[in-house]
Amino acid sequence: MSQVLCIRGGHPLRGAVVAQGSKNATLPIMAAALLLKGGKLRLKRVPNLLDIATMADLLKYLGVCVDFDNHEMSIDVPEEISWETPPSLVRKMRASSLVLGPLLSRCGKAVLPLPGGCAIGSRPIDLHLKGLSKMGASIEVAHGAVTAEARELRGTRIYLDFPSVGATENVLMAAVFAKGETLIENAAREPEIANLAQALREMGADISGEGTGIIRIRGVDALHDAEVEIIPDRIEASTYLLAGVITGGEVTVKGVILEHLDALLAKLEEAGATVARNEGEVKAYVKNKLHSINVKTLPYPGFPTDLQPQMMALLSLASGTSVIREEIFEARFLHVGDLKRMGAAIEVQGNMAIVKGCPELMGCDVKATDLRAGAALILAGLAAKGETRVHALQHIWRGYEQIEEKIASLGASLNLTEMAEEEVKW
């Protein structure tokens, strides 16, 4: 038996929801707490998600106390912590690799089982390791684990071959105590990195340039207690905006930072939707049918790869043919199969998906393969005729807090139920 989300489509969603705190800002900031030696980091607006619980378990395994209640988290880090991470937790969540830089920096050593690939690609960490070794760490990869050691990390210039979010975050955290100045060039510019830099500055780090592509870090001797507010989750917020548009309704998302949504809002307007921006909130709706557009995923501020599956669901119902190019991950089209089973006309050619808009989608049994693919299938089910039953919900609960309640509050007809495997009609 497993939990399944049953959605009866065709109801226009209307109303307002508040964006959760950003999962992808919270995870690196939780890892950054490891840089404290006998200190406390308090976080506000932390989303209640499976991935956050996994990172909390990892910190606890290392000897850290983590208290989390009502979106507020307190992380108490003792003088001494372990530097060896458990395979079970690291393999559960790739973002566990974000403890590598902090552990190496404050313990002089770190052992990290190689994080597995996942449904969207192999997801190596070569750029992380290249940056750390440039700072003087000795890196050994053997028996499926990375062992990093450094008596002292030295500040240096590090050019990232690709503006990797995780590599930027790991090198940034490792540079906080490094001797001298570190320059990270071709750094990722995502807002989550700016939130991490701001959190580290609150703790006493000397960092500037985040968001510009060149981040400058001057080494300090120690960090101190701090309190940090997590930024809103731009991907979760965008997903609810798209839920309003795909169902022919009108959804307002509150508690957002508008500039973080620029790429999505521009593409929605290009496709014929109306977007109303207000202080800290945004509404989107479409007066008549959306028309096709072309989308290419790029590092921030380009169109986010984490919205590519959801946008594909939307364009499956637009008039005309859209072309979606996935430039960030090598295998992020696993949602195509189930969208086609719902009636979408999509042809994949390498990293390009050609989406021929169709008049309607039909509900059926579908399975989430990863977090954002699952969100896309929910959007499709909300717009489809008949009932869509979404399986493997654990992927979705990794990143969407109370998604059933939030969608139901907007007028959707859905319920959670238990189903035996044999009842499923694949």
Using CB under 6 A, list all residues that contact ligand EPZ: 23-24, 27, 94-95, 121, 123-128, 162, 164-167, 305-306, 328-329, 371-372, 399
Neighbours of 82 (CB within 10 A): 14
Nearer to ligand EPZ, 166 or 343 (CB): 166
Q: What is the DSSP letter of 22?
A: P
Nearer to ligand EPZ, 77 or 125 (CB): 125
Treating both helix axes as pointing N-terminal to C-terminal, what angle do 191-202 and 23-32 enclose, rounded to 10 degrees? 30
Rounded Cα–Cα distance for residues 182 and 155 (Å): 4
Nearer to ligand EPZ, 376 or 384 (CB): 376
Question: Least distance to ligand EPZ from the beta carbon of 239, Å?
Answer: 11
Nearer to ligand EPZ, 31 or 290 (CB): 31
Token pair 């364009």 in the structure block, residue: 315
Question: Least distance to ligand EPZ from the beta carbon of 113, Å?
Answer: 16
Nearest residue to 295 (alpha-carbon basis) of 316, 319, 317, 264: 264
Selected catalytic residue, list 6, 65, 107, 118: 118
Question: Least distance to ligand EPZ from the beta carbon of 263, Å?
Answer: 12
Q: What is the DSSP letter of 116?
A: P
Rounded Cα–Cα distance for residues 168 and 95 (Å): 13
- Work out whether strand 109-113 and strand 387-391 pair parallel, antiparallel, or are unpaired: unpaired
Nearer to ligand EPZ, 219 or 399 (CB): 399
Per the CB < 8 A criterion, the answer to whether 122 and 330 are in contact is yes
Verify whether residue 118 is a known catalytic residue.
Answer: yes
Question: Least distance to ligand EPZ from the beta carbon of 126, Å?
Answer: 5
Sheet holding 352-356: strands in order across?
Answer: 294-296, 321-325, 352-356, 345-349
Rounded Cα–Cα distance for residues 211 and 236 (Å): 21
Per the CB < 8 A criterion, the answer to whether 245 and 284 are in contact is yes
Question: Least distance to ligand EPZ from the beta carbon of 340, Å?
Answer: 22
Residues in contact with 379: Cβ distance below 8 Å, sequence separation at least 6, in sequence order:
239, 242, 243, 246, 310, 313, 314
Query: 3-state SS of 193-221?
Result: HHHHHHHHHHCCCEEECCCCCEEEEECCC
Question: Least distance to ligand EPZ from the beta carbon of 104, Å?
Answer: 15
- What is the token pair recorded at 179? 């001797």
Nearer to ligand EPZ, 232 or 399 (CB): 399
Rounded Cα–Cα distance for residues 33 and 76 (Å): 8
Q: Which residue number places its CB atom closest to ligand EPZ?
A: 166
Question: Least distance to ligand EPZ from the beta carbon of 370, Å?
Answer: 7
Nearer to ligand EPZ, 330 or 360 (CB): 330
- The C-alpha angle with vertex 232 and arms to 72 and 66, in degrees rounded to 5, equals 25
Question: Least distance to ligand EPZ from the beta carbon of 233, Å?
Answer: 9
- Work out whether strand 14-18 and strand 250-254 pair parallel, antiparallel, or are unpaired: parallel
**Which of the residues are catalytic?**
118
